[in-house]
Chains A and B, each alone.
Chain A
Amino acid sequence: MLPMKKGDRVSYRIPDSKIIHEVFDDEVIACNLDRGHYYSIDDSGAEIWRLLLAGSTVPEMAEHFSNHDPSNRETIASGIQQFVDRLLEEGLIAPADNGAGKLPAENLPLTRRTVFTPPVLQKYTDMETLLRLDPIHEVDETGWPNAKKQV
């Protein structure tokens, strides 16, 4: 169940040290270290990521993009909400408690990309196997797991 509904004035945070991310120009890479997934975000999605980190709410982000395209205000708000919901589903962001970390709207960072394109979260699962554990069924008399016999 998602913790917010469209229109809620909720800001977000990166949930813990298991989510790591870096911004490259107008693209973002993020990794979920617990799940073995990584993600790329570009175009408006990267801009939304920056704004989320600065503490923006969905309505504030919608306002930001709509300033340059007022006729599409509803489409923009809906697109941002869907993208934020995807980030929440993947555990990449979480609601911030009591608006912690939230900046006043007038302090939102200057951005280079203001034309809105529907944001996409590209997900990669090819590293999952690196995190897969062999089940531990037996330990020796000292409590150490028995290693797999080498071929």
Chain B
Amino acid sequence: MTRSPMNPRRPQDNDGGGRKAVLADFIEQARGVYLQAERTFGGGLCRRFRIGGRLLALHFAGPALASRLTPALEHLAVPADGATPDFTIFFWDSVSTGTRMPPPPWSAHDYAGRGEVSGFSDDRFRLAFHPGSGILNMADTRAGFALYWIRDAGQLPYYESGAPMLPLLNWWLNDRGLQVVHAAAVGHPSGGILFIGKGGSGKSTAALSCCFRGGFLYAGDDYCLVEPGALRVHSLFNTAKLDWERLRMSFPQLEPAVSNSGRLDGEKPLVFLQRHWPRLICPVFPIRAVLIPSLTGRPQTTLTPAKPMDIAKALAPSTIFQLAAAGGDELRLIAELVRGSSGFFLELGTDLDAIEPALSRLLEPE
């Protein structure tokens, strides 16, 4: 272990073009390491998923990361049929594959908020490294591929299993008019609702109440994908994540399905709904309303109209400040969604059985 993070290959400050060339070179080196890791397991493992109507190929050098990252996406899995994927991501870790990642061509001083590394991303090459989780994401968006590396798959944070590779999905899909958003989504194939707002505002409680104490179908309880041009939402992850007390008190039927029940002293319970309630999941539906929930402590649930600016404030910051290298392009897509949507404040009542009936009128044909 060393305390000197400086790397002799680090390009000079303000050398934007130099940094991007260095990143392109580093991505090539890292891709070589992936291929070496893949050979360790005799060719690796390939899985395919249809996300937002587009084909995504995931190549895993070995099983260590595949078993942790694919459960959240299983509801979108498709068989390999020879079709060319729209985007490909290569995954490996050093510990299980016995490979060594080259040193980063940047210094510890370059790390910035949201996992960005100052000066190392542009329209084509994207880079994020989260020092807290140790996950490295790099993409060549023009070539249509990305790399995902962590030193030890055994150290993958639980929340990454619940909502994997968010920066990579955003880099891939934003260019195609689809936006990853911090929102829950429930409804029916004919139409549904987005719940937006920062953590703790009641998104999961509202979404799971509608599905497990009402008749709505589930598309997501924390992140989903919106297509503003068509005013549709696509499911990303089949994960339900909720505080343990809330889960036990309000949704006891989920308790036997918790995937991380042995680690709840430091983790929120995760439930992969596709494993237990596959018919509850709806992969895509039109957006009929966008709701800003809040927990009131009063029994009844009420709706009051919200202005476009209210929706923008509840959705844009909590989405954009979570996504590495997100900026104006993401805000433009979110603004398009906001301008096309009907918005409401949702005061969530303590009577969870009454939430879905209160919202059903929003889904009635106009």
User: A residues engaging B (CB < 8 A)?
Assistant: 17-18, 20-22, 24-25, 27, 29, 31, 33-34, 36, 38, 40, 42, 124, 126-127, 130-134, 136-151
Looking at the assembled complex, report how far the CB atom of B55 sits from the nearest CB atom of chain A, in whole angstroms: 30
Q: Which of A21, A22, A29, A130 contacts B321 (CB 8 A)?
A: A130
Distance, CA A31 to CA B327, complexed state (A): 9
* Chain B interface (Cβ < 8 Å from any Cβ of A): 1-5, 7, 100-104, 108, 111-114, 129, 131-134, 150-151, 155-158, 198, 263, 265-267, 307-309, 312-313, 316-318, 320-322, 327-328, 331-332, 335, 338-339
- Tell me how far the C-beta of A20 lies from the nearest C-beta in chain B, rounded to whole angstroms: 5
Contact (Cβ within 8 A) A134 B132? yes
Contacts A133-B131, A147-B155, A150-B155; is A127 near B335 (CB within 8 Å)?
Answer: no
Chain B residues within 8 Å of A142, by CB: 100-103
CB pair A33–B335 under 8 Å, yes or no, is no
Contact B320 A136, beta carbon cutoff 8 Å: no
**CB < 8 Å: which of B108, B321, B332, B339 contacts A131?**
B321
Contact of B131 among A33, A38, A134 (CB under 8 A): A134
Chain A residues positioned under 8 Å from B335 (CB to CB):
22, 24
Contact A137 B3 (CB under 8 A): yes
A135 to chain B, nearest CB (A): 9
Q: Determine which residue in A18, A27, A33 has the highest number of CB atoms from chain B within 10 A of its CB, and name it.
A: A33
**A22 closest partner in B (C-beta):** B335
A-side binding surface: helix, strand, loop or mixed?
loop
Residues from chain A with a CB closer than 8 A to the CB of B338 are 24
Complex CA gap A42/B310 in Å reads: 12
Cα-based distance from A150 to B155 in the complex (angstroms): 6
- Contact check, B320 vs A139: say whether CB atoms are below 8 A apart: no
20 A–B contacts, CB within 8 A, in A order? A20-B328, A22-B332, A27-B307, A33-B114, A33-B321, A34-B113, A126-B198, A131-B321, A132-B113, A133-B113, A134-B131, A139-B5, A140-B1, A140-B2, A143-B104, A144-B101, A144-B104, A148-B133, A151-B263, A151-B265
Contact B317 A136 (CB under 8 A): no
In the complex formed, the residue of A with least CB distance to B130 is: A147
Residues A25 and B308 in contact, CB atoms below 8 Å apart: yes
The minimal Cβ–Cβ distance linking A18 to chain B, given in whole angstroms, is 8
Can you name 11 extra interface pairs (CB under 8 A) apart from A38-B316, A140-B1? A24-B307, A24-B338, A27-B308, A27-B309, A33-B320, A136-B111, A140-B151, A144-B101, A145-B5, A145-B131, A150-B158
> Would you call A130 and B103 a contact (CB within 8 A)?
no
Q: Which chain A residue lies CB-closest to B131?
A: A145
Most buried by B among A22, A134, A138: A22
